[in-house]
Amino acid sequence: MDLFRWVPGKGPVQVAPKLGVASLLPSDGPLREAPCLLVLPPLWDHHGHVAWLGALLEQADLRGCSSVDEALNRLVREAAGPSPGAWVEGFGWDQNLWGGVYPGRASLDRLFPSRPVYLRRVDGHAAWVNSAALAAAGIGEDAPDPPGGAFLRDGGRLSGILLDTAMERVAAHVPDPSFEDLRRRVLNALNHLLGAGLAGVTDMGLEPAHVDVLASLDREGALPLPVEGFAWVRPGQRDLPAPATGSRFHLRGIKLFADGALGSRGAALREPYSDATGTEGFLLWETEEMARVLKEARAAGLVPAVHAIGDRAVGQVLDAAAMWGTAGVRIEHAQLVSDGDVRRMAALGLAAGIQPCHYLSDRSWAGKRLGGRMSRAYRWGSLLRAGVPLRMGTDFPIEPPDPARNFLAAAGREDPSERLSVEDVLRAYAPPHQMDPAFACTLLGCEAPEALGRTSESQRLVFAPPPTGDRPC
Q: Report residue 452's pLDDT band, with 50, 70 and 90 as the boundaries.
A: confident
Q: What is the pLDDT of residue 27?
A: 67
Binned at pLDDT 50, 70 and 90, residue 143 comes out as very high
Higher per-residue confidence, 23 vs 192? 192
- The pLDDT confidence band at residue 455, using thresholds 50, 70 and 90, is low
> Based on the number of CB atoms within 10 Å of its own CB, is 195 exposed (0-12), middle (13-18) or buried (19 or more)?
middle
pLDDT value of position 7: 85
**398 Cβ contact partners less than 8 Å away, ≥ 6 residues apart:** 49, 122, 123, 124, 358
Predicted local distance difference test score (pLDDT) of residue 268: 98
| pLDDT tens per residue, range 361-393 | 999 999 999 999 999 999 999 999 999 999 999
Q: Quick count: other Cβ atoms within 10 Å of Cβ 363?
A: 14
Q: What is the pLDDT of residue 86?
A: 86
Q: Check residue 49 and give its pLDDT.
A: 97
CA dist 395 and 202 (Å) reads: 10
When pLDDT is averaged across residues 346-351 and rounded to a whole number, the result is 96
Tens of pLDDT along 82-102?
566 689 999 999 999 998 899
Q: How much is the mean pLDDT over the chain?
A: 91
Quote the pLDDT of residue 68: 95
pLDDT digits (tens, 9 = 90+) for 326-338: 788 999 999 999 9
Cβ partners under 8 Å of residue 461, min gap 6: 402, 404, 407, 408, 444, 445, 446, 451, 452
Instruction: State yes or no: pLDDT of 28 exceeds 60.
Output: yes
How many angstroms separate the CA atoms of 337 and 382, rounded?
10
Segment 18-39 shows an average pLDDT of 71
DSSP readout, 227-238? EEEEEE--TT--
Stronger pLDDT, 19 or 274, i.e. the higher one = 274
| Mean pLDDT in residue range 161-171 | 94
What is the tens place of the pLDDT at every residue in 387-432? 999 999 999 999 999 898 899 899 989 999 999 999 999 999 999 9
Q: What is the mean pLDDT of residues 142-164?
A: 94
Task: Count other Cβ atoms within 10 Å, centred on residue 100.
Answer: 12
The predicted pLDDT at position 78 comes to: 81
What pLDDT sits at residue 20?
A: 62
Q: Give the pLDDT score at 461.
A: 73
Lowest mean pLDDT among 18-22, 265-269, 396-400, 430-434: 18-22
Distances (CA, A) of 321 to 289, 331, 332, 337: 11, 11, 14, 16
Mean pLDDT of the 435-439 span: 93
Structure confidence at residue 30 (pLDDT): 72
Encode 182-200 in three state secondary structure: HHHHHHHHHHHHHHCCCCE
Planar angle of CA 363, 357, 93, nearest 5 degrees: 70
Calculate what percentage of the chain has a pLDDT beyond 70. 93
Query: Given this model, what pLDDT does residue 1 score?
Result: 72
User: What's the Cα-to-Cα distance from 153 to each of 26, 125, 140, 170, rounded to whole Å?
Assistant: 52, 17, 12, 16
